[in-house]
Amino acid sequence: MAEPMKIRAQMQGDTADIKVLMNHIMETGLRKDAKTGQMIPAHFIQQVNVTVGGKTVLDAQWGYAVAKNPFLGFKVKGAKAGEKIVVNWVDNKGDKRTDEATIA
């Protein structure tokens, strides 16, 4: 998972509109390979954590029923322009990813 996440955050009044596109294959473990007929092993994001200005604003546990390259959009009331957003995820194989952005 070498590709970074795409994070966009803009203020709308006193609320930050945050959008995150995560690069991940998100395999369910229920699908067969078309060429070999073998089951493709499960590989999906299990834990997502987002902080804004050092405070946790989102902590989610995901399962295998989330689409490839998941998109996450949410709003945070009381955020300020210039605050740092940090997005972390961990998948079921122990792979981890952390990226950050600043609220515009």
At 2, the pLDDT band (50, 70, 90 cuts) reads low
Q: pLDDT tens for residues 24-48?
A: 999 999 999 999 999 999 999 999 9
Q: pLDDT tens for residues 52-91?
A: 999 999 999 999 999 999 999 999 999 999 999 999 999 9
84 Cβ partners below 8 Å, 6+ apart?
52, 53, 54, 100, 101, 102, 103
| Helices and strands, counts by H and E, the chain | 0, 7
- CATH assignment of the domain containing 79: 2.60.40.10
Instruction: Decide: 29 and 40 in contact? Cβ < 8 Å.
Output: yes
At 3, the pLDDT band (50, 70, 90 cuts) reads confident
Amino acid of residue 15: T
**Residues of the domain holding 89:** 6-103
Task: Give the count of domains, the chain.
Answer: 1
Q: pLDDT tens for residues 46-62?
A: 999 999 999 999 999 99
Instruction: Decide: 50 and 58 in contact? Cβ < 8 Å.
Output: yes
DSSP state of 64: S
In a domain, residue 1? The reply is no
